[in-house]
Each structure stands twice: as structure tokens, then as C-alpha cells.
Amino acid sequence: MKCLVKMGLAGLMAFGLSQAAVNFPYPQMSDYGGNATLLSDKAAASEQLKKQFAAWMRDMYNEQGDIAGVRSDPGSNQYFSEGVGYGMLLMVYFSDNTTSYQSQFDKIWNFYKKFQNENGLMIWKIGNLSESWDAGNGAALDGDIDAAAALVMAYYQFGDEKYKEDAKKLIQAMKKSEFESNGLHMPGDKWGDAALNRKNPGYFDPAYMPLFAAVDTENAEFWSKTAYDANMKLYEASSGEVNTGLVDDWTDKNGKSEDDYYSYDASRAPWRNAKAVCWHGDQRALAIDKKMAEFVSTVPASNMKGPVLRSSGSLGNDHNSTFVTSLMTALISDAKYQSKLDEYWKEAVALGDENYFNQSLKLLNGLLVSGNMPNLMTAGSNPPPQSSSSAEPPLSSSSSEMNVDLSSSSDGSVAVPEASLPSAVGMSQQGRALHVNAVGHVRVDMFSVTGTAVKTLWNGNVSGSMEMSLKGIPAGIYVLRVQTAGGSHMKKIRLE
């Protein structure tokens, strides 16, 4: 039976293509726009990661009412703010078309909020989901910075404005209490004067700075320039001290080594820099990863052990996913390390289920090198403003409403028909390129299958043939809305 229904685009998409629970379902298997070398078999790695995540959920995720924590180890009732950050990121990126982890994300975020101190930051160490074990009630930047980024990504993944609002509050709280005015990070909010000279490079994440600048717009320059530059200099100074390129766990304000060890604190640094390479093509982060990769490539994955003495490259006794997968991420920096990258991931999978920290880093690092940790903000930019000097009239703001003929199939699903383009407009897709032939003013908007605005691909005059790049947009099914003087039309596309 057919019926004629007038509905907005969001409603149409909600009925639509695949009943997607989230906007960017796992696995994405993005190529990050060609910015990095990734695993040879991303599909196999995606399956392996899903199994490891199931084990992580079984052993580490502990839910009680409307809150949930990430155990410090299986069976433990001790929780750290860093685990909150890891858990929130994992819930965003492992959500797929059959299982959304939004509820679990919300419960972990509720846990964070329950134990916020007077600075709006989570107390770093908690016991029994109900009491603080840290007498000083201090926060730790590593947990806060990942939680803030996870909130930004949740906004794009789940489509709820509340996450963006919460992200802005947390980002501003970090700026006030965990960053100096010169941009250098502080390890936490209650270190006093010690925080001015004692730094932990692995707590800072260059990949997040553009995100924070976009959300906390009144402090955009601080995040995109001041904090980014100051802390990248810290990374570069620490890495530049030694031939291995490994950063230290702790340094002074100039990046001078405190103990010469690449250990568990520093183990987040390669992932954070590699993420900046994948998401933004960050050349400073790439240079650091390249130097580390020269050392990592000389060590068989089966023998990589930490802590590592940075000056000599002497290996410790801990062979686990913290050291195997964290240093693996440096190998994304050059295609010549492809086989070594695959070797390191194979070794990580063979290590099986591990304790909380090792298993969490395996998942985070594995998501990145398999293309399953894209920057969802790149698919969520606002439409560019129209030029006030344009002679073309603005397109109708109500053009997202259209008369749609919905045909119900025998299995109860609803198909989304595509309105044919006017004869004056031609459009075709070739891989990651969209070709448009038109004359006059054209606007092309991209939407997720749930109706969330993804990106405005074009908004201006066209005279003949033009190409629009779709690079950097995660794989999935999308709907294009083409607006011309002749009306509004839709076209479904799939990105591999």
C-alpha cells in the first residue's frame, strides 16, 4: 500500500535506509584521507577488535543503576578517571547498526559527573562507584582530556546536543584549572606550583586541539595555537633528547627528561601523535612518530618489552599490549613499515585478554590503525555562509520538506525513493569523488541515514563540470540533497 507523506528530512531519514542506531556505525575502516599507513587487513582486524571489546566489556565495565565505571582490573572496585575517558571513547567507536552503546556512554559520563570536584573535573581515583579514595580530590588531565573529546565525538555519533554542551563546559574547566596561560598543560588541577615545572607529555593530545577550538569558540585561538604549540614543543624536546625518539614519562617545563624511561605514563604519547597524523595530517606529530618508528622497526614485535630506557633503547621485562600496541602506532608514519605494522598487530592479538590498562590501550591503538577511529567532526562541519555579494537568491530554508511517496515492502521495511534530478543537473559518484554538471546556483548537502547534517559539499555557482572530494568522510550510506532553482532533490550514495 502506498501513501503520500509530507515530512522533514530528519523524519525521512529516520524511516530510511538501514534503520541505523548511530550515525557512524562500526566498523568504519576509514583511510583517513590517505594520511597514514594502516593495517593490511582492516576487516580482519575489525573482527578481532570486536571480540576483544566483548571481553573488555565483560571484565572491565561495571554498571550500577544509572552510573557505570571501568574497573582498574577484573573484579576490582577501584576506578580511575583515565578509565572513564577510555570507556567513553570505546562506547562511541564500537557502536554499530545493531548495538548502540549510548546508554553505557551516558552511565560512564554520569559517573564522571557524580565525582566532579569544585573545579568541574573528576576526582582521579574512586572506590566502589560511590566513594572517593583520593583525599585531595584532585583531577588528572589524561582522563579529563579523553572524556572531553569523547563528548565531542558522541555529539556526532549519537546526535544529541547535550553532549556538545557538556563538552564545552568540560573543555573550559580544563583550560581554567589544568592549563597555564602560556598554553602548557598541568598534570592535574591540585598540584600547586609543582605543576608549573613537572609535565607529563603523554597527558596532552594534539589531535584534540582543533576539536576543542571548534566547540569552545571563545577560546579557539588558545586551543588551536597557544596550547597546541606549547605542548608540541614539549613533545619535540623530549623526543629530540634521544636517538630512539621516545618521549619520557615526566619532564620539566622545557621537556628535559626526569628519569629517561618510556613507561606506562608515556605509553599514550605515540597514539596521541598518530591520531593527530590520521585526523589532521599533522606534520609535527608525524615527525615525532617517524623518529620513534625508526627505533620500533628494529625490534621484533615478539620481543618488544617495557619500560624502555630511552637513551639506549634497552628493553624492560613487561611484554604486553601497552608497549606492543602503543609503539605500533608510530609505524603508521611511513609505508615502508607496512609489514612491521602488521607484525605488531598480530602479536597484540596473540596476547589475548589482559588487565585493564593493557587491554584498553590495545583497543584504542587497534581502532586507530584499523581505520576505526575517524574524527567524526570532519563529517559534521557547519554549512559555509553565503556571500552577501552573491547575486543569487538564497535557497529556501524550508526545502528540507518535500512530498515523498513511501512504499511499504512485504517485510515491513520502508524504502527511500530518490527524486530525479532536473535535466539541467547531472551527478555521478566515482569512489571518493562526486561529479556535478550544472549551470547556476547549486547547494549540495550530505546527511547521515538518520538525518543528521554531515557536511555541505558545495554552496555556490556552477558553470559546467566540477568535482567534489569525499575524502576523510567515514564509510557508510549517506543521502545527498541537491538544491537548485528548480527545487530540492535527493540521491543516496555509499562510501566504501
* Final residue in a domain of this structure, among 373, 390, 423: 373
Say yes or no: 42 and 185 in one domain. yes
In a domain, 18, yes or no: no
Predicted confidence at residue 412, as pLDDT, reads: 34
Say yes or no: 272 and 409 in one domain. no
In a domain, 307, yes or no: yes
Q: Which residues of the chain have pLDDT under 70?
A: 1-20, 379-424, 450-451, 486-487
Residues β-bridged to residue 488: 483
Specify the number of domains making up the chain. Answer: 2
Say yes or no: 341 and 428 in one domain. no
Predicted confidence at residue 438, as pLDDT, reads: 78
Say yes or no: 360 and 283 in one domain. yes
In a domain, 209, yes or no: yes
Say yes or no: 199 and 348 in one domain. yes
In a domain, 472, yes or no: yes
CATH number for the domain that contains residue 473 = 2.60.40.3080
In a domain, 151, yes or no: yes
Say yes or no: 51 and 170 in one domain. yes
Per the structure block, which three cell numbers stand in for 385?
Answer: 555562509
Say yes or no: 333 and 199 in one domain. yes
Predicted confidence at residue 6, as pLDDT, reads: 34
The boundaries of the domain holding residue 437 are 2-8+381-495
Say yes or no: 225 and 344 in one domain. yes
Residues β-bridged to residue 261: 309
Say yes or no: 134 and 91 in one domain. yes
Torsion of CA 58, 272, 96, 41, to 10 degrees: -100
